[in-house]
Chains A and B, each alone.
Chain A
């Protein structure tokens, strides 16, 4: 049984076919990168898998169960966590209190892995992800944190949720090279811990270093799939990105 199997996923907005019968599979413990030019349906695909959009047709089989069309909170509780391309912190709360919200979820309760005060736990998770506890950063309101911290706060949420399938939607966008260099090892560590990851990304160089497989979307269709090395050689990929035959 496949860990995650997407079958003929389709979504239209009015007359526009955003995702056009896309099928793919992800094996447990691997990292799949989804790339493609702007408007190729990457984020829509993510929204369909995580329940923020309902597909017109097609199946999302997660550990054999069709989760397409379920509520986003339900899918999250089944173990599929996601981050947002536009960072979405709770602005009025301090950074560490942002994590208290996911710690209330039924999933964390069911997993039973988290003991102790929610605050301490949230601070521990944030420390692991690079919020220095001695500096006052975790206690600052999310509204005044710099972009790099907010991206890490998004990551911290899926870690707090103990998600087993994690979907990162353009995690690297807006980050400096140095910040990417600190986040990439964290993602590799998540894979080592047995998590399965889907990454939608525009920063191909950084993605290809850690991805096991890469899928290319163009205008809602899957045009290529394979290891990073194979993808780089594909002429159709170059055409989709650059618009010319090379």
Chain B
């Protein structure tokens, strides 16, 4: 009779015990916690120095898309599954563009102002739909950017189909990279800290059960407004940033690609984890560029890879990696045999 074996999973014995107090006793344990957080930060920083100029531009776009993905995931964690991140992106882009073009504000004022004004307008656009939940909310967020795009086209405001060109550029690629990288990490660690705080639990609760939030004496409308302001603010910054990066603004800011990419990145990386969507964006952004060599097959290969990813790892890449990192897996003998259930 052969001895049957089974796979055993054990949590690694190193644990940070509570929210605030870390019970760590050695460099090894500190490293265990710090390395996964420092590795991507330092890795991307080093990468920025060593890649050729063209790939630096790809990195900048990836960072901006990463922020879009983070914003989508944050809003989805609050129960606001948006299909229209492009709306926020475009409103931020047009706000910053208008500040720069019509009022002549310098770039260091137009981006922050564009972000805030864009976020206020975005929140106002979404406000009437806040009574909706789930798929109803999603569909409305899909409609609004398409509608605004046609308004720009027909009325010709903000340059109409031509857009506005000749906006102030960034002083150089180093500044561009630095701003986008810092903004990305601020967004990532900021949103994570917010979600893990007691106040952030209210946002989590919104998705789990909005009626119970209402029965807790908190107005769900007010908290949804806050969530949308934060989420859209991140996208508006992305839009404002890209406007100045391209030195122009056009109707393409409303394009549906901008709404789809954050969702694809979140699905690949693992929804509801924040780190997952970021990882997804860092994979998908450069991948899309690398596939340019395939010409018109690019989209086919991209789609096939995306599909394979989702089917093989439906939980997402980040939860999978996190589990591998936090658990020891080993084969052990099962003397009693393996039960069939």
Please give, as numbers and ranges, the residues of chain A lying within 8 Å of B220 by CB-CB distance.
73
Taken together as a complex, chains A and B put the C-alpha atoms of A89 and B208 apart, in Å, by 8
Taken together as a complex, chains A and B put the C-alpha atoms of A76 and B209 apart, in Å, by 16
Taken together as a complex, chains A and B put the C-alpha atoms of A81 and B209 apart, in Å, by 16
User: Interface size class for chain A?
Assistant: 20 to 34
Interface pair A81/B215, CB less than 8 Å apart? yes
Q: Within the complex, which residue of A76, A88, A89, A90 is in contact with B201, where a contact is CB–CB below 8 Å?
A: A90
Interface pair A102/B217, CB less than 8 Å apart? yes
Q: Nearest Cβ in chain B — how far from A141, in angstroms? A: 11
B198 in the interface (beta carbon within 8 A): yes
A101 in the interface (beta carbon within 8 A): yes
B45 in the interface (beta carbon within 8 A): no
A4 in the interface (beta carbon within 8 A): no
Interface pair A91/B217, CB less than 8 Å apart? no
Please give, as numbers and ranges, the residues of chain A lying within 8 Å of B219 by CB-CB distance.
71, 73-74
Partner-contacting stretch, out of A24-32, A92-100, A181-189, A195-203: A92-100
Dominant secondary structure of chain B at its interface with chain A: helix
Taken together as a complex, chains A and B put the C-alpha atoms of A104 and B203 apart, in Å, by 12
Taken together as a complex, chains A and B put the C-alpha atoms of A104 and B219 apart, in Å, by 11
Most chain B beta-carbon contacts within 10 A, residue among A50, A77, A90, A107: A90
Please give, as numbers and ranges, the residues of chain B lying within 8 Å of A93 by CB-CB distance.
201, 204-205, 208
Count, chain B residues at interface, CB 8 A: 20
Given A89-B208, A89-B209, A91-B208: A100 and B201 interface contact (C-beta under 8 Å): yes
Given A88-B211, A90-B212, A92-B208: A105 and B198 interface contact (C-beta under 8 Å): no
Interface pair B198/A104, CB less than 8 Å apart? yes
Interface pair A82/B215, CB less than 8 Å apart? yes
Taken together as a complex, chains A and B put the C-alpha atoms of A93 and B206 apart, in Å, by 12
Q: Within the complex, which residue of B207, B209, B214 is in contact with A52, where a contact is CB–CB below 8 Å?
A: B214
- Extra 4 A-B pairs, beta carbons < 8 Å, given A97-B201, A102-B216: A73-B216, A91-B209, A104-B202, A157-B212
The 6 A-B residue pairs whose C-beta atoms are closest, nearest first, are: A105-B217, A102-B216, A76-B217, A90-B208, A88-B212, A90-B205
